[in-house]
Structure 1
C-alpha cells in the first residue's frame, strides 16, 4: 500500500466507474421498440394507444423540437430472471436511453411511462432512466409499456446559453433532435447496487476531508483494499467480500459536533422557463409520478412541493396521479408548501396581486387537500420585496425559505437563519439554506458546504437541504435516498435526517430562540435586468392588475346596490391567469419566446374579459342617465370624481402651451415647464413654492442608450459596466406644437422615438407619452430626469407602501443596488421639497447623485424603458412600445396620487353619478386597495386598506350601504381572534395592511 495519494484516488474512481457501476445491471436484453409521432400538440393516451406504430431502431433520429413521440415496448421476463426476483436478490426494469446527452434532467428529452391500461408509472429522464417491471416479474412474464416521449430542445445547451431559434415552434424547424439509444430489459443486482452506494458515499468523502486527516487516510486505505478484493471478472461473486471491507468505514459514527441536515425531498419545477406552460404540466406528471413510485419503495421519503397551480394541473389533466398525491398528503409524507398559486416573482407583482397569490394558493390547499401551509417556499425568485413579511403573516403563515440570495455577486448575507422584518415591522422566521442549492443530491461536497458556511454555527447546528433534481423537474432518486440512509450517522459527514419542512422550522426555532433580524428588502445582487426585460409581458401584468381592481370594484358595487350577479368565476379565471404569469421566469422576462408570446395573448384575453365585466357593471350603475360621468376606480379623487366613485364630468384645469425665446412653455396655475428645441425639459417651476426642479445645465426627458452585454445571463442581468459604454445621443427629427400638445420626434441607435408632452388635466404635472419603435440588439434605453434636489434617499413604491434606498453609494451594499425596482413611482426629496417620476408600466430604474454647477449636487432619476437581450428569446422586445410618464412636484402622497392617475385612468361614460361603496375619512394616507365580494360566495363585502405615507394614521371606513356586522380578517377572509370594539375605526401603524369583512344587511 505505497501508492501516491492522487494515484490511489484515481484508481479508486476508475474501479467505481468502470467496474462497479456497469455491474449493477447484471444482464441486459435489447427490446424492439415501435413509435408513433403526434403531428402537432400532445394528444391523450387514449388517442395515442390505438395509432399505427412503426419500428424505431437504435441510432435512428427522432423528435422535432417540442414534438411528442409515443413509443411502445413489449416483452417477456425470462423465467430465470423471475426466479432471481422471487429470491429477493434482483429486480427487473427497463433501461431507457432516449438519446440522453448527459447532464441534469429537465433540459432535454423526457418521457412519461404508462402501462397498457393507461396507468401512469413514472417519468424517464437522463439520470432517472429506469421503469420497474415489478408486476411482470412477479405475476407473469409479459409486459406492454407506452412512453410519451417529449423531444424538448436543450435550450440551455450545456449551460452555455447561446442565442437559439429553438424557443418557439415557428422558428425551431422540423429536424429531429435525438438519436435513439434504445430500450433494454435489465436485471438489476440488488447487492451490487448496494455496493455502488457504499462506494460512492465513501469515495465522495475523500473530496471534503482534510488532506492529512486520519479519517481520510483510513478511507483511502479501506477503498484501496476494496479495489484489491473486487474481482473484475466476477463482480457479483466478490461483492459480499467488498462490502465487508467497507462496512467498518460506513459504521463509524459522526462526531458529536457534526452539523445536522434536515433533508427534504424536493423538485423545483419552473412553471415556465425554457419550456411553455403546457410542457410544465407534463413535467409535473413525470416528476410527481417518480416521487409516488419512490414512496412505494422508500417509506422514509418525505417530499415537499409548492405551487397550487401545479396541483390543479394534475387534478385536471392527471386525476389518477392527483388521487395518489392526496393519499400521501393525508399520510403526511407528501407536504404542500409555499401557500402561493405559483412561486411568483415578488418584486414586480402589485400589492393586491401578491395577496391573491396566497388567497388562491392557500385556499386551494385548504379546499382540495385539507392542509394549511405555514411555510412560504420561494427558493428561486430574484429578490424579495420588503412588503412580503407582512403579507406572509397576514396570510396565516409564519416561516419563509429562500435560496437565491446565495447568488449575490458582491455581498454575502450575514445570516442563514434569522427574523426578516418588513417595511411595516412585521417579522417572519426565515431560513436561507447554507447548502446553496435547492437541487442537492446529498453528495459530500454539498453537505460539507452546508456545514462550513452555516452562519449560525456554534449557536445552531441545523440547516435544511432540499434534495432532488430541479428547475426542469425530476425530483429525488433512489440513489439519493440510499445516500441519505448511509449518512444518517457517518464519520466525516453531517448527520442527515429526512424531515418534513414544518418539523424543521419547529426545530430551528427551538434551537435559535433569539435570532438576528434583517430589516427591509432581500435585494438580489444579480439578475437586475429582470426589472426590464420583455416589456410587453410587464405592461400586460400592470394593466391586468388594474383592470382587475376596476372589475371587482364596479361589479361589487353593482351587486350590493342593484343586486346584479357577481361574476365570481370569470374574475377567478382572470386572476388565475395573471397569477400564473407572475411566475418568477415569466413576469421577469427570462423565458423563451413561446412563453412570452403566449403571455401576451393571455393578457389580451384577460383584458377583453375584464373590460366586458366593467362595461356591464357600469351599465347597471349608470342606468339611464344622460350626463357625461367620470368613473374613478382609483384610491384618490381624480378629474372631479371621488375615490372609488363616479361624478358628472367637469372642465379640466389644464393650462396653456406657447413658444417664446426659451423654447416651448407649458403653464398652469401650479407649474411652468420649459422644453427646448431638442425636446428636453430645461425648467420645471413649482409656482406654489417658486421652486425650480431642474438644476442649472440639467435636463429632464433625456433619452440615453447604452451597450448592454451582460457577463452571464442575457435576459436576467444588467451589469454595472453598462454605464461605461454610452452610445451616441438621440438625434432630433422634429419638435412642434399641436394645440396643447408638444410632439417630439427623435432617433436613437436604429430606433425611432415619438413623444407627446402635455400638462396633466389637474395642471400639476407634465405628462409624457413615449412611443418607441425598438430595433436594437443588446442595448439598454433609459429615460432620465435631472432634479435639483440633494436627496439622501429615493422612495420607490412597492406593495402597500414604499421603500427608501440610499442615493449615495457609501458601502458595498449601496453600490450593489445600482439598478433597483419600483412600481408606479419614484420620489426624491429634501426637507420641504420633493419631485416624482410616475409611470404606467416601468419597473427598473437607477437613482444617482451628480455634481451641480455652482456647487453641491443634484439627483438623477432614470427609468429603464427597454432592453434587447438575445437569450433565451433572440427577438425580445423588438417592435413598438408605448410608455406614459408624469413629472411632478410635491410629497409622497402626491406621488401616490400620480401613480394612481396614470395606472387607473378615469373612464368617461354617459350615465349618472354614483357614490362610493366605501370611502375613508380622517387621513389622506389611508388608501383602499381592493373592494370585492368574499371568496366563499356569501355576498359579504371585503375591503382592504393600508397606510401609504409610512407614518401613524387614524381614520374611519365610511360605508355607502347598510351592514349587519363587520370584522377584521386575515387575507383568507377568516375573522381574526382579537377584534377591536369598532372594526371600522382604523388606527394604523406605518404601512399597515388591514382586511375587513362586511356583512350587508339583508
Structure 2
C-alpha cells in the first residue's frame, strides 16, 4: 500500500508489474482494480501504474494487431475510462536471454497492416508514461490500498527469517552509521565515507531481489547472500566506530570513573535502558553510574563473565544526540531503589503493568495499571499451525491450513525462573519445547519510560517442519480492523478470510478497541508477517517451515530455517487511538537501542551532552540523515507518522543554516523552504515524505596528521584478466594437479590509493611482474618521524592466522584473516546426495576484521578463470605507536602479506564499543540434529 508514496517521492513517473496475475488461477482471487490507472499511497500521492503488464516471459502471438483478447481489453477500457491504449511485456523472463526471433517476426507482422484493429508499437518501457498527458491522466481510474497476492508470497513474509533479520539490522545500522558519519563531518570536517557506505548499501539492496529476501532462493544462494550482508554490516559498523570516535573527541569525557558515551540514534528525546559490557583488570564488587549532571542513576549488574561485567542503567539522551555517563567502581551497592519495580512467584510489575504467568510459561495476564485495564482475554500462547502447501512451499500459505486453529503449542518441558531483580529491570527466563523445537524467552519490565514496553527477547532452537510458529495475543480490545505500519503510512485490514490471511507490516501492528478507549501495539525487530484470526487476536509469525510432501521439486524447503534464531518483540498499550500514542516511537526504540562506547578522558568544547538535530513535533519522524551523493549538503528526510496534516514543523540544528531547499528522493531540487537561523520550517501533510538539502556553517577542522610508509615490496599477488598467471598470493605456484596453481587479486579492481575511515594508503603497482606486497618474515620497517600515535596496516593472509607486530619493544598480536572466501555464515544445512535429506548443520561463524577493500571474485591462473562470488579482501589493522619509535618489526609468519602501511596522529580513533553492533552468534549453544521430525 505504501509503495506508490515512496515511488512518487523519488520522482518516478510510472510503475508496471505482471506479478499480480500470479493469483489469477485461485478461486478466491481479488480482481485487479484496473489495467492502467493511478495507484495512490496512504499520503494520497501516487503514480500511473500498469497492474497487468502480462507475463514477462510471454510470447508475441501472430497478428497481435487483431488479437481478439487485446481488442476486447482495450474496448472495455475505452468504455469505462475513455482511454484506448494498452501496455504489455514480452521476452525471456528473469532467466536471462535476449529477444526471441519468433517474437520479432510476429511483431513485424503485426505492424502497418490494412486490416489492423490495433496499432502495435515496439518501444521503451517508459514511453507510454511519457506520452500520457495531464488531460488523459484525469480520465484514469484511481486506487488506494493493498494489492495482495492470494496464497502466493504469503509464506515469503517469513521464509528464511535470518535473511530478513539481516536486512532489517542492516537497514537500521546503515541509518545509524550515516547519521554518525554526518555528525562527525559537521563537527570535525572528518571525511564522509561515501564509498564504504554505498558499497555496503549495494550489497544490502542486491539481496532485496525477488527471491533472496523473500526466502525462496535455493539453499546455496544464502551462503552468498549471508556473506554479502555480513560484509555490509562490517562496513556500516566500522563507519560508525570511526565517526563516533571523531565526535567523542569533541565531548568532555573527564569523569571520576570510566567515561561511557551513549548515542541515541532516534530523533526524539529518550529515557531508556542502556546496556554495556566493561572489562576490568580487577573486577569490582559493585558499580554505580552517574549522569551528565553528576547525579546517580539506577544501575544493575546483570552478568559477570571472567573479568567482564555486563550492566544496565537508565540513560536520558537528547534527539540524535550523545551524553557522557560516569561508571564508577564501588565497594558498596547502590542505595537507589525503585519502588514501582518488583518481581515474585510468576508475577512481575512496574508502574505501567502487572504481568502474570501460568504454569505453561504463557503470559496469562497483563494489567495496564494506568488504565486499570486487563489487556489479555486469555493466555498469550506460542501456537503451532499446520503448513502443507500444495505448491511452492517457501512462497505459499493456504486458507485450508490457516482457517484451522492451532494443533499444538510450545508447552513441553516448561521452566520459569527469575533471572533479574534490581532497580533497573526485572526479568523471567521462560524455556519450553514443542514440535522438535525449543524456545528461551527473556521477559523483561524496566523502570521509568522504558517500562512502557513489555519486552520478550526470544532465542529459538528451530528444527520443526510442516508448521509455522506464531506468538498469539488474544486481547480484550475487540475490532474487526487492525492497523499495520508500512514504514510510510499505515493501512487498516480486517479479520482473516479466504482472500487475506497473512499480511505484512514493518516494526508494529496495533489493535485498538472499537470504542476507541484503549489499544495494544505489537512491536517487532525483524518479523514481517502476521494474521488476525478473530476480532480480538493478533498473531505474529515467528518461524515458517512448511512441509514439501506435495512438492517434490522443493523438498529442501521442508527444512528451511533450521538453526538458532534471535527475535525480539514487545507489547505497548495506550489510551485512545494508536495515532495519539507513542507507538511509532516505541517501535523505533526497540529497533534502535542506545549505543554505548568508552573513550579516553579529555576536555571537549561540546561539554557532556550534544544533540545534532531535533524535530519540534512528535508526529514527524526522521527517515534518513546523510550526506548528499553529489554535493556537500546534508540530506534530511522526514515523514508524517500519525496520518494527519501537521503545520509549523521546525527542525533545529546546532549551527546556522547557510542554504536549504526541498528535494525529491533522487536529491533533485523541487522547491524552497523557510530558514530562520538554525531552524528549518515547513508544513507536512498526512503520511507524506519530505526531503531537504541543508548546508550548515562549517566547524573547525580536526587535525589528522598522517604519513604513508614506503614498503619494500617483495611479492606479486595481483593480475589482470589479460594474464591471470601473473603473481600468486598462495605461494603454491607448482601444483601436482594443475601445474600452475596461482590465485591472485583482480588488479582491475585495486585502486592506486585506498581510503578507509579517513586513513589514506598507497597501494603497490598492479602492473604485470611488479611486486605489490611485503611477505612477513620478521623484518624491520623504518617509520617516518613525527607526532603520530597509530600504525595502520593493510594486510591479508593465506589462511586465518596471527602474528606479533613489535613496536618499541611492545608486542601486539593481531589475528589476520584469510584473503578470500566467506567472512561469515549462518546455519548451513549439509544435504545427502538426494539434495534434501539433512545430514548435518554447520555452526555459524563470523569474522569481524575491518574490511578496507573487497571484490566479488579473485583470479585463478590455470585453468584461467575469474572465480565468481569468492570474495577477495584486504583488511585494516592498527597498532598503537610510541612517539619515540622509528621502526616496526613485522611477524615472522610468511602467511601474512602487507599491502600498505600509514602512520597517523588520530585522537578520534580510540573508542571501544561496549556491545556488538550486530549478531556474532557467541551466545548460541551448539546446534544438534534431532530425530523427531
Superposition TM-score tier, normalisation by shorter sequence:
0.5 to 0.7
Query: Is contact 1:774–1:879 with CA below 8 Å preserved after alignment?
Result: yes
C-alpha spacing 1:467/1:757, structure 2 compared with 1 (3 Å): same
Does residue 524 of the first structure (1) align with residue 156 of the second (2)? no
Cα distance 1:726–1:665, how it changes in 2: closer, same or farther (>3 A)?
Answer: closer
1:420 aligns with 2:33: no
Which of the numbers 666, 677, 697 marks the counterpart of 1:972?
666
Structure 1 match to 2:539: 861
Output the CA distance in 1 between the equivalents of 2:475 and 2:356: 14
Query: Matches of residues 854-893 of structure 1 in structure 2 within 5 Å?
Result: 858-868=536-546, 871=554, 873-874=556-557, 875-890=559-574, 891-892=578-579, 893=581
**Residue among 251, 258, 261 paired with 1:629:** 261
Report deviation, 1:726: 3.6
Distance (Å, rounded) in 2 between the aligned partners of 1:914 and 1:659: 38
Change (3 A) 1:652 1:961: farther
Which of residues 43, 52, 57 in structure 2 aligns to 1:433? 52
Counterpart in the other structure of 1:305: none
Match of 2:429 in 1: 743
Structure 1 pair 628–653 and aligned structure 2 pair: CA distance change class (3 A)? farther
- Partners of 1:693 and 1:649 in 2: how far apart? 37
Q: Equivalents in 2 of 1:399, 1:989: separation in Å?
A: 23
Q: Tell me which residue corresponds to 1:727.
A: 407
1:147-158 to 2 correspondences below 5 Å: none
Q: Which residue of 2 aligns with 1:407?
A: 22
Q: Which residue of 1 aligns with 2:93?
A: 470
Distance 1:949 1:500 in 2: 39
**Cα drift, residue 444 of structure 1:** 5.1
Q: CA deviation at 1:612?
A: 1.4
Change (3 A) 1:659 1:979: closer
What is the aligned partner in structure 2 of residue 692 from structure 1?
374
- Structure ranking higher on relative contact order (CA contacts 8 Å, 6+ apart): 2
Selected match of 2:395 from 683, 701, 716: 716
Question: Counterpart of 2:218?
Answer: 592
The C-alpha deviation readout for 1:176-204, integer Å capped at 9, x for no partner, is: xxxxxxxxxxxxxxxxxxxxxxxxxxxxx
Q: Is contact 1:926–1:945 with CA below 8 Å preserved after alignment?
A: yes
Report the 3-state secondary structure (helix = DSSP H, G, I; strand = E; otherwise coil) of the residue aligned with 1:497: coil
Other-structure match for 2:457:
769
Alignment match, 1:6: none
Aligned equivalents of 2:596, 2:126: Cα separation in 1: 52
Q: Is the 8 A contact 1:538 1:587 kept in 2?
A: yes
SS of equivalent residue, structure 1 residue 576: helix
Q: CA deviation at 1:494?
A: 4.7
Matched, 1:673 2:294: no
1:958 aligned onto 2:652: yes
CA distance in structure 2 between the partners assigned to 1:469 and 1:847 by the alignment: 39
Alignment of structure 1 residues 142-221 onto 2, 5 Å = none
The alpha-carbon deviation at position 848 of structure 1 amounts to 3.2
Q: Structure 1 residues 919, 681: closer, same or farther in 2, change over 3 A?
A: same
DSSP 3-state at the match of 2:491:
strand
> Residue in 2 aligned with 1:286?
none
* Count of matched residue pairs: 596
Normalised by the size of structure 2, how large is the TM-score?
Answer: 0.61
Partner residue of 1:496?
Answer: 120
Q: Please tell me whether the aligned partners of residues 703 and 782 of structure 1 are also in contact (alpha carbons under 8 angstroms).
A: yes
1:984 aligned counterpart, secondary structure: strand
User: Is 1:817 equivalent to 2:500 in the alignment?
Assistant: yes
Indicate whether 1:789 and 2:452 are aligned. no
Query: CA-to-partner distance for each residue in 1:767-811, whole Å, 9 max, x for gaps?
Result: 11111111122321111111111224211111223222223x6xx
Q: Cα deviations across residues 229-260 of structure 1 (Å, max 9, x unaligned)?
A: xxxxxxxxxxxxxxxxxxxxxxxxxxxxxxxx
Structure 1: runs of 5 or more not aligned: 1-385, 851-857
Say if 2:13 is the partner of 1:392: no
- Relative distance call for 1:431 and 1:632 in structure 2 (3 A) is same
Instruction: Compare the two structures and name the one with the higher helix fraction.
Output: 1
Cα deviations across residues 105-153 of structure 1 (Å, max 9, x unaligned)? Answer: xxxxxxxxxxxxxxxxxxxxxxxxxxxxxxxxxxxxxxxxxxxxxxxxx
Report the CA distance between 1:961 and its aligned residue: 2.2
Give the Cα separation in 2 of the matches to 1:393 and 1:847. 31
2:622 paired with 1:944:
no
Residue 577 of structure 1: how far off its partner (Å): 0.7
Aligned residue for 1:755?
441
Other structure's SS at 1:424 match: coil
RMSD value, Cα: 2.4
Q: How does 1:221-232 map to 2 (within 5 A)?
A: none
Q: Give 1:431 shift.
A: 1.5
**DSSP 3-state at the match of 2:409:** coil
Structure 1 stretch 565-574 or stretch 716-725: which is displaced more? 716-725
1:728 CA drift (Å): 2.4
Change (3 A) 1:947 1:617: same
2:196 is the counterpart of 1:574: no
Instruction: Kindly report which structure 2 residues correspond to 1:117-128, keeping only aligned pairs within 5 A, or say none.
Output: none
Inter-CA distance 774–415: structure 2 relative to 1 (3 Å threshold): same
SS in 1 for 2:93: coil
Which position in structure 2 is the counterpart of 1:515? Answer: 140
Report how far residue 729 of structure 1 moved: 2.1
Secondary structure of the corresponding residue to residue 752 of structure 1: strand
Give the CA deviation at 1:420: 0.8
Q: Which structure is larger by alpha-carbon Rg, 1 or 2?
A: 1
Determine if the alignment matches structure 1 residue 836 to structure 2 residue 521: yes
